[in-house]
Amino acid sequence: MPAVTRSLFALLPILFLLLPVASHASGQFSTDFHVEYRYDRDGSAHIEQKITLTNLLSGYYASSYQLELLDDTPANISGRDSSGPLDITLSKKQENSNVITVNFREPVVGKGASRVFYLRYDGRPAVKSGQVWEITLPRLGNPEIVDKYDLDLYIPSEFGDPAYISPEPLQTAPAASGYRRYTFPKDRVSASGVAAAFGNFQAFGFNLIYRLSNPTDKKVSMSVALPPDTAYQRVFYESLTPLPENVTVDPDGNWLARYSLGPDTSTLVIASGQAHILAEPTKNVPQLPPDQSTDLSSTSVWQSDHPRIREYAARLGNVENIYNFVVSHLKYDYSALSNSPRSRKGALAALDNPENSICTEFTDLFIALARSAGIPAREINGYAHTTDPRLRPVNLAGDLLHAWPEYWDASRSAWISVDPTWQKTSGGLDYFHKFDFHHFAFVIHKSDSQNPRSAGLYDSSVPTQDIRIEISPYKNFLPSPLEISWIPPRRMLPFIENSFTLSLNNPQGQAFYNIPVSFSGLRTGISGPRNTVVKVIPPYSRTLLPVSIVSSAFPPFSPPDISAVVGSRTLIYNVPVRLYLVWFIITVCASAFTLIALAFFAFKAWSLYLQRSSRSSIIRR
């Protein structure tokens, strides 16, 4: 969006000299902007600004015009008015702003006279992340000197439906050539510009309550499973109270927040934030490849080694046939949504008794058949948003939950979500080839179908609603740097490896991925690997990386340095002299002992020499 300044010619030279140019610029003209942002199907952005400059007094006219573009670098700039092409220059004003200067060929004179001119340029392109197109339009600079302003945003239909648009457009309407137009007035774009995403993306606000209780007479350690990042979602925590001792990642990819509870105590853990849901798996979150020992194993509810399951798996052959069989074979029990909680039947019981099935039976049968066919599969337990009251998710304890399976697609190196339950209940919508952005994963189950427990399944003495999920306006969570520090040993000793620890503390509510770390030392040697990559640092977690310094026999006169490069940041630790105090004492004591021993042996040798010399003198007499 432009910030506007104007260069003026005075028809009355005396008045022009008496008053400053800025006052003329702000009071002698009115400006009317009509701006069009049009995105091509490849994401290229083309901007056209129609600017009407109207004289408010008869004594002045504009000889040139300047527009300041904030947070945007224009390219391929051109302009024209009724007289033809305009002379245009581009200059950089500040680090985040560029100024377009337009010089007019002919004056437009007279009160009420208007000059209409057009500017065209290419701006910041749309960014495609997975299946989501993201666009950012810079804010309107100096809105106080812009009298009228409206913006039309043209998006091709190939971008998909809007996942979010902030601020909300005043009007939305179809446009020609497969585009859709979104119109914004001045008051909606002057403060923050426009941020939008198009495609299979949704933002869910959440508030989850975990009820922990320790009825024993001893202190115990307990964990709760926080909704993790997956290939289909990024989770951003705005608060987690109380803060855990640490958050770790289990072999299934779950985020486990650890708490200590004293004897006969209970506490509430409350997590709130926003989840950004995708309909296609993204590579931005590293995926754990399948583990043959867990992702193909048979369990009490996924009886993949049972002869009947094997028979069907061999007959069906591939994952799509398995999925279609589950959808067609099982019958969804709508009455289960209003009945009391029920026990889990498992895959074999669902196969033999397809009536009265809910999401767990659809999921269990799919997983068992897929594993029996040699296809790694796992369960996702979480929340699925729907406006159909008949299809609201249900779990085994009473809060609102849903279960769906994932299978490993080796060709894409990704876990792929499918939902046979919703394909059954939706009347045939395809939830195999294309997922939606309404499924919010709480936990991942591979080796154990029950643990870790999902939010909503923790102990409660009275019926409560522990899960609150709603579609919410998009929030942009900007990451803060990790807190990096060195933890030195208590002392430095010779002849051994002295262990230092690099602490990577993440005090914020989002995870970091694939953080490169390298170690080096000055006047010292590093034992072990010098380079590593930290795959994931969960929110509110602390990751400790050990590194050892190899000590020589003598303490250094100049203490060494040890440094770590974490991403683009370097942290140097100057080993303090005090850590060598014990080493110095040992060295001094050893030196003193050596000197005393040498003196003792020298004294003994001298005494023996004197004795022998005395005997020799007596014999000669």
Residue 121 has pLDDT above 90, yes or no: yes
Distance CA 599, CA 604 (A): 8
Lowest mean pLDDT among 316-320, 471-475, 485-489, 523-527: 523-527
Residue showing tokens 């439906």:
161
Query: What confidence tier does 584 reach under pLDDT thresholds 50, 70, 90?
Result: low
Helices 319-329 + 359-372 axis angle, to 10: 150
Cβ atoms 548, 495 nearer than 8 A: no
Note whether 572 and 523 are within 8 A (CB): no
Q: Are strands 75-81 and 114-123 parallel, antiparallel or unpaired?
A: antiparallel
Question: HEC profile for 285-328?
Answer: CCCCCCCHHHHCCCCCCCCCCCHHHHHHHHHHCCHHHHHHHHHH
CA distance 313 to 351: 12
Q: Which residues contact 448 (CB under 8 A, 6 or more apart)?
A: 299
Q: Residue 461: which pLDDT band, with cuts at 50, 70 and 90?
A: low
What pLDDT digit, counting tens, does each position of 588-612 carry? 787 788 888 888 888 888 888 777 7
Read off the pLDDT of each residue in 573-579 and give the average, rounded to a whole number: 73
- Tokens describing residue 482: 């990790």
**Residues whose CB falls within 8 Å of the CB of residue 211, separated by 6 or more in sequence, listed in order:** 266, 268, 458, 459, 460, 466
Percent of the chain's residues with pLDDT above 90: 48
Crossing angle between the packed helical segments 319-329 and 307-316, to the nearest 10 degrees: 120
Most confident of 378-382, 392-396, 436-440: 378-382
Give the closest residue to 404 by CA, choosing from 432, 433, 375, 427: 432
Please, is 587 exposed, middle or buried when counting C-beta atoms within 10 Å of its C-beta (0-12, 13-18, 19+)? middle
Q: For residue 253, give every residue at least 6 positions away whose Cβ sits within 8 Å of its Cβ, in sequence order, or none.
A: 228, 230, 288, 444
List the single range of 61-70, 258-267, 368-377 with lowest mean pLDDT: 61-70
Q: Give the separation between CA 142 and CA 595, rounded to whole angstroms.
A: 82
Among 223-232, 467-476, 538-547, the range scoring the smallest mean pLDDT is 467-476
Residue 80 has pLDDT above 80, yes or no: yes
pLDDT averaged over every residue in the chain: 84
Residue type, 150: D
Domains, the chain = 2-198 (2.60.40), 292-443 (3.10.620.30), 483-580 (2.60.40.10)
- DSSP collapsed to 3 states, 420-462: HHHHHHCCCCCCCCCCCCCEEEEEEECCCCCCCCCCCCCCCCC
pTM of this prediction exceeds 0.85: no
What does the pLDDT read at residue 473?
81
Q: Judge whether 457 and 397 are in contact, CB under 8 Å.
A: yes
d(CA 558, CA 524): 11
Does residue 69 register a pLDDT over 60?
A: yes
Using one digit for the tens of pLDDT, what is the confidence trace for 515-548? 999 998 766 667 767 899 999 999 999 999 998 8
More confident residue, 472 or 225: 225
Distance CA 207, CA 272 (A): 4
Q: For residue 397, name the pLDDT band (cuts at 50, 70, 90).
A: very low
- Token pair of 348 as six digits: 């074999």
**pLDDT (average), residues 83-103:** 88
Rounded to whole angstroms, the Cα distance separating 148 from 152 reads 14
Cα–Cα distance between 615 and 621 in angstroms, integer?
Answer: 10
The per-residue pLDDT for 337 is 64
